[in-house]
Amino acid sequence: MSAAKAKVSASSGRRLPYGALMWLFATLLIFGVGQQTVTLHDQEKFTGDFDFTVKQVEGENSLIFSLTAGTYLYGVTPEVILPTPTGSFSRGDETAPQVARALFDTLDSITEITIEARTITVVYGSDMEAEQVRSRLRRPVNNAVANDRGTITAEVSGTAEKTILFSTSDDRFRYAQYQPALVESIEDYDSRAAAEAGSDLARFIVAESRPVQSLRLEPTRLVVGYAEGTAIEPFARNLREILNDFHPRASLAPHLWLLTVAPEIIPPLLAIAVEPLETGLPLFLFTLLMVAVESGIFFVAREGKKNLLIHLVHIASVFLLFWSIFGHEPLWDAILHAIFPTSAQLVHPQGTVIDFTAQHLELVLTSSIYIISVGLFLGVMVTRDNFREFLPLVNNLVNSGQTVPTLAIVAIMGPIIGLGFMPAVVALIAYGLLPVVRNTIAGIESVSVSIVDSARGMGMTSQQILLRTELPIASRIIMAGIRTSMVINIGTATLGAFVGSGGLGIPIASGLSMTVDAFILLGAIPAALLAILTDYVLGRLEVVLTPRGLLIET
């Protein structure tokens, strides 16, 4: 016996802290990837916000682009927030402020912009539908001003034709004033060949513009020499577009994201509201902290001593790692550009990946509350002697939820309940009940009759037998049903986009209708990752909730 114990002790002494090593590998990977700075390629969403003046050098074929405002780094906070200058401005007005110029550049049909303290009035001259113009201008206005987009509302004017009104609940509209910086230090290239062997920006400019003959890059100026006979105005306009295509630049280093989960009343349902929160802390610091935590667990918690707290730490840390990756939009832009290098639209304009994922979780968690509650109730009820006659009825009822196609349930509920959150939740409840009910019944009926008789012989009541004997023994089978139901519902919830419930189905549906392949993957890849992550989390919870005596050590 002592020799066996010594053998076990020696084998446990040779064990390695694999958890800490995995987190260390994740730290090195995230830190290494984070050293990369890439160009954001979605030209619809990551537009340049810089401004400059153009001047021709007398007697030379050269243009001087003097930067006056703007940044080329994604996510950089402006140094100065200033009140937006007020007044009425027409197209071509050189006195128009930065906000007005940005909107004129967005839509050629805009004829006049009036900026007041809390309103921006846009007058257009095309035959486009008013709602279409309002939709087209909403994002450019959000990008042009420094106010939070949640404070801005847009509506079609009821008193003037072809007029859109933007209002803010803040005391006034403001815009961001950046300290411009094109490059960190001066770069001088006296020929195209020299520029082709120069920095990323120099190579990009000469590759995209054939008239360029020489370049001088300064922090706040760009001096360009051009070929004889070049049309100056188209050339200057083309250079602006080239700079927009190259910038903004973004780091691939993600931040740590957290989330809040809170109840929310959506009549007649009690729903779950999920809100993502960006901490601004580098993610590699979090993974480095987990290296220390896992090392502490390895040296403190001995074999067989892992408790609930340790499992919860594992669940929370892995979830936050993936959650933070969902929140790093430049990373998704880079991934999708690698798959679709010629696509000008990669990241969905209506929201970020983490926003869609939060909406998706709201659907899944809300429906799961009712699926687990109703499923456990029905499964327990029909295993009681007094209600066993209802077993066929309950089986047929929950079977019908998966017999009817989910999209058909969503389509039926839409006209009856209305569009939005509710029809998708009802469809998910109908579709997800079967695994929970069936596994609850199978788990309880798998409990040995001799165990139940022993419990009854000890004087336990029927309720005590259920709560202290049957449910604990059946917990692993029941958790497997809950796990299956939630993973299935993550995929099924994408159909909620067709009734306006939001979630990761939005980019998938948009990609299918607009034939933008990048949008499809923008919804499909996070949905697949979320399903894998949920399966992992519920798998660990299954171990936690299973009585220690039922865990088989191998």
Q: Which one is predicted more confidently, 180 or 474?
A: 474
Mean pLDDT is lowest, of 54-68, 112-126, 218-232, 539-553, for 539-553
Q: Which residues pair with 259 in a beta bridge?
A: 276
Q: Tell me the average pLDDT of the chain.
A: 87
Q: 153 - beta bridge partners? A: 167
Rounded Cα distance between 514 and 508, Å, is 10
Distance CA 312, CA 543 (A): 11
pLDDT greater than 60 at residue 131:
yes
Per-residue confidence band for 553, with pLDDT thresholds at 50, 70 and 90: very low
- pLDDT band of residue 261 (cuts 50, 70, 90) is very high
Q: What are 88's two structure tokens? A: 């009425």
pLDDT of residue 542: 84
The predicted model gives 277-292 an average pLDDT of 94
What stretch of H or E contains 81?
Answer: strand 80-83
The answer to which of 6-20, 138-152, 300-314, 418-432 has the lowest mean pLDDT is 6-20
Residue 108 has pLDDT above 70, yes or no: yes
> pTM for the full model?
0.76
- What six digits make up the tokens of 403? 């017999």
Task: Kindly give the residue spans of alpha helices, DSSP state H, lying in 169-231.
Answer: 192-196, 200-208
Q: Which residues, 6+ apart, have CB-to-CB distance to 253 below 8 Å? A: 30, 31, 33, 34, 35, 282, 283, 284
Instruction: State the Cα–Cα distance between residues 469 and 466, nearest whole angstrom.
Output: 6
Tokens of 336: 């999708």
Res. 358: pLDDT tops 80: yes
Angle at 456 between CA 450 and CA 460, to 5 degrees: 140
Distance CA 226, CA 208 (A): 13
Tokens of 340: 């679709």
Beta-bridge partners for 41: none
Pairing of strands 174-177, 80-83: antiparallel
User: What are the structure tokens assigned to 135, written together?
Assistant: 């939709």
122 sits in which H/E element: strand 119-124
Residue 527's pLDDT band, with cuts at 50, 70 and 90, is very high
pLDDT for 10 beyond 50: no
The rounded distance, in Å, linking the Cα atoms of 437 and 430 is: 12
Q: Classify 35 as helix, strand or coil.
A: coil
Could you give phi then psi for residue 251, rounded to 5 degrees?
-80, 145
Work out the percent of the chain whose per-residue pLDDT is above 90.
Answer: 45
Measured between alpha carbons, how far is residue 55 from residues 61, 68, 75, 260 in Å? 11, 13, 30, 52
More confident position, 70 or 360: 360
User: Residues 295-347: pLDDT tens digits?
Assistant: 988 887 655 445 778 888 899 999 999 999 999 999 999 999 999 998 888 99
Average pLDDT over residues 487-513: 90
Which pLDDT score is estimated for 42?
85
Q: For 62-70, what is the mean pLDDT?
A: 84
Residue 500 has pLDDT above 90, yes or no: no
Q: What angle do CA 326, 330, 334 make, to 5 degrees?
A: 105
pLDDT, one tens digit per residue, over 157-185 is 988 889 999 999 999 999 887 777 788 88
**pLDDT above 70 coverage of the chain, percent:** 94
- pLDDT tens digits along 411-447: 777 777 777 788 889 889 988 999 999 999 999 998 8
pLDDT at 554 over 50: no
* Cα–Cα distance measured from residue 324 to residue 468, given in angstroms and rounded to the nearest whole number: 40
**pLDDT in the model for residue 550:** 67
Query: Is pLDDT of 463 > 90?
Result: no
Most confident of 9-18, 67-76, 127-136: 127-136
Q: Which structural domains are found in the chain, ordered by start?
A: 15-46+248-347 (no CATH), 51-72+180-247 (3.30.1370.70), 80-177 (3.30.1360), 350-550 (1.10.3720.10)
**pLDDT at res. 499:** 83
